[in-house]
Amino acid sequence: RLILIGGPPGSGKGTQSPIIKDEYCLCHLATGDMLRAAVAGKTPLGIKAKEAMDKGDLVSDDLVVGIIDEAIKRPSCQKGFILDGFPRTVVQAEKLDDMLAKQGTKIDKVLNFAIDDAILEERITGRWIHPSSGRTYHTKFNPPKVPGVDDVSGEPLIQRKDDTAEVLKSRLESFHRQTEPVIDYYRKKSIVAQLHAEKSPKEVTIEVQKVLS
Ligand code: AP5
Ligand code: ZN
């Protein structure tokens, strides 16, 4: 099974993905998370990606296609996967189709997390994350029991460097210009399901379950 989650920054991709992953035993592959880990580890990939990420621009197609190509071949991902934040350009979508064709598979569903831009600034600027587990909190919509501390591990939470109102503007600009055409690419294949991402996290989960059942 192969599911793709698309939507603007803050639309809830990273919040819903772990739930789908657990329910269907899929691998969760998020290019943003993989790139942030590379930046934190100062790997050659991270060094190349950092500047674009800090500005809210997209990283080059070659770099992200390379990490996805490697990830989808992992033995642990052979039951299927959820792609979160990839593909983000039509070139990436075409390359993904080629990679999957080589493995004899194709995408089953594209979940489009549709939401109005106006809601996103509050979601992004209030987000706190626990980097090692990927757990995400929000000061207003999903606060941790103790401010700044992960509920499970007791470890400190951090904010993403690109989660400012200023950088969000560039991220949204990249989304509308480069990533929205990807949805049209999949609409032509009739595999897009439209979700109401402005609803509460629980309501969004129910919509996702309906689409995937
Ligand atoms: P990436 O990490 O993919 O960031 P993004 O697309 O900007 O998406 P976010 O992670 O910000 O949003 P999300 O939808 O996951 O929101 P979340 O669920 O956390 O990419 C980062 C950067 O990496 C890019 O800018 C680019 O430079 C690079 N990159 C990555 N992939 C690339 C690619 N393929 N090609 C080129 N470059 C690439 O939710 C947000 C907040 O809202 C949280 O606090 C959450 O608690 C809260 N929340 C979630 N759902 C709800 C709800 N229903 N109601 C209320 N609050 C909610
Ligand atoms: Zn995310």
Q: What pairing do the DSSP bridges indicate for beta strands 127-130 and 135-138? A: antiparallel
Among candidate residues 63, 119, 118, 50, the one with its CA nearest the CA of residue 95: 63
Phi first, then psi: what are they for 169, rounded to 5°? -60, -45
How far, in Å, from the CA of 12 to the mean position of ligand 1? 7
For residue 195, list its beta bridge partners.
113
Has 13 been annotated as catalytic? yes
- The ipTM assigned to this model is 0.97
Measure the CA–CA gap between 182 and 93, rounded to whole angstroms. Answer: 7
Per-residue confidence (pLDDT) for residue 159, from 0 to 100 = 96
Q: How is residue 124 written in tokens?
A: 């992004």
Has 55 been annotated as catalytic? no
Tokens 């990830």 identify what position? 71
Mean pLDDT of the chain: 96
Name the band, by pLDDT with cuts 50, 70 and 90, for residue 207: very high
Q: List pLDDT tens digits, range 27-53.
A: 999 999 999 999 999 999 999 999 999
Kindly give the interhelix angle for 61-71 and 44-55, rounded to the nearest 10 degrees.
Answer: 130
Ligand 2 is an ion; its neighbours by CB within 5 Å are 13-14
Chain centroid offset of residue 182 CA: 14
pTM listed for this prediction: 0.95
pLDDT mean over 1-21: 95
> Ligand 1, atom 49: nearest CA belongs to which residue?
12
**Candidate list 50, 88, 95, 109, residue with the active-site label:** 88
Closest ligand to residue 127's CA = 1
